[in-house]
Amino acid sequence: MARVYNFSAGPSMLPIEVLETAAAEMTDWHGTGESVMEMSHRSKEFEEIIKTAEQDLRDLYKIPDNYKVLFLQGGASAQFSAVPLNFANGTRKADYIITGQWAKKAYSEAGKYCDAVAAASSADKTFSYIPKTTRESFRSDADYVYICMNNTIYGTVYHELPDTGDIPLIADVSSCMLSEPLDISRFAMVYGGAQKNVAPAGLVIAIIREDMLGKAAEITPTMLDYAVQAEAGSLYNTPPCWQIYIAGLVFKWLKSIGGLEAIKERNEKKAKILYDFLDSSKMFRGTVVPEDRSLMNVPFVTDSEELNAKFISEAKKAGFINLKGHRSVGGMRASIYNAMPVEGVEKLVEFMTAFEKENG
């Protein structure tokens, strides 16, 4: 059957060019006679794969030399524990901005290991906006400030980073990684689960400033100690080799289309098409304040649960899948990550227009 338009929030669609390359190399990577899935992570062949992937990522993000790039396991959720264990190592105070479920979970996990406080929150309006903060919003002696850059469930994003002064800023960028340029030097660490915009589930990419390493709490499990992973070049144990390989193909694809400036332009075009329709529709409406809207995740609703369900059902039959909103929010959500073509958003809007005419 023909491929559908997959609006899943993750695991999500990958560029068709990447999938086709992976399929062609599935049983024989570059004349080795073996698949990457069968390859030793200690081999010179895999060393080429992981080193090339790291360099391409450095090129895309223009990562400064004093940052380490790590390819890790455990999902973004494992980092909820690893971050305080590695970085709450001075006053043992950490300030969190709560902008959705994932920031809330990270904050809750950090409370097991340090004095974590919620410096700001948008829970009062169902996380439909990014709370405004100033430098005074944070404890001056906090070891770090933590944000979730793009909130997958609620469809908000930081268009301007919080001013944390000299306090290290750490960000979960899982659902906006590589969607646009990002000044890595503004952060002490950024990390992201790959399954939303970069690769299959099972890989986390972390970019960490070197001076943050080597101060982990004694109770930190070895696998969660970033210094150990950095010293071993992400090869302390067998890494998620296939996912790293796919991530590397995605990096190559991004470079081939013009890098992060080009993909940002494409993402802005897609988002404008969908948001313009929602703003003009009499049936559908977005749920996020316009100034904080995400380019990646677009939640929307009608005024009827029955109509929401009908739309999701009919959309699936028409080849638009995974449009159901997160269970904690309801309604619909279109995740339009890098791999979603402009055509997919245009056709979705065509379908929504016809659905509104037929059911209005």
- 102 is annotated as an active-site residue: yes
Neighbour count for residue 290 (Cβ, 10 Å):
9
Distance of CA 309 to the CA centre of its chain: 27
Distance CA 185, CA 167 (A): 13
Q: What is the pLDDT of residues 113-169, one digit of tens each?
A: 999 999 999 999 999 999 999 999 999 999 999 999 999 999 999 999 999 999 999
| Residue 31, pLDDT score | 96
Point out the catalytic residue in the list 56, 95, 143, 172.
172
Name the CATH code of domain 5-13+259-359 (choices 3.20.20.70, 3.60.21.10, 3.90.1150.10, 3.90.1170.50).
3.90.1150.10
What are the sequence ranges of the domains in the chain? 5-13+259-359, 17-256
| Residue 236, pLDDT score | 96
Point out the catalytic residue in the list 56, 93, 143, 196.
196
| Residue 222, pLDDT score | 97
Phi and psi at 59, nearest 5°, equal -65, -45
| Residue 328, pLDDT score | 77
Residues lower than pLDDT 50 in the chain: none
Distance CA 179, CA 87 (A): 27
| Residue 1, pLDDT score | 59
Domain 17-256 has CATH 1.10.150.120: no
Distance CA 149, CA 297 (A): 12
SS in 3 state form for 294-337? CCCEEEEECCCHHHHHHHHHHHHHCCEECCECCCCCCCEEEECC
Task: Give the DSSP letter string of 1-66.
Answer: -PPPEE--SSS----HHHHHHHHHTSS-STTSSS-GGGS-TTSHHHHHHHHHHHHHHHHHHT--TT
Point out the catalytic residue in the list 29, 95, 102, 242.
102
* Token pair listed for 113: 């290991």
Q: What is the pLDDT of residues 204-215, one digit of tens each?
A: 999 999 999 999
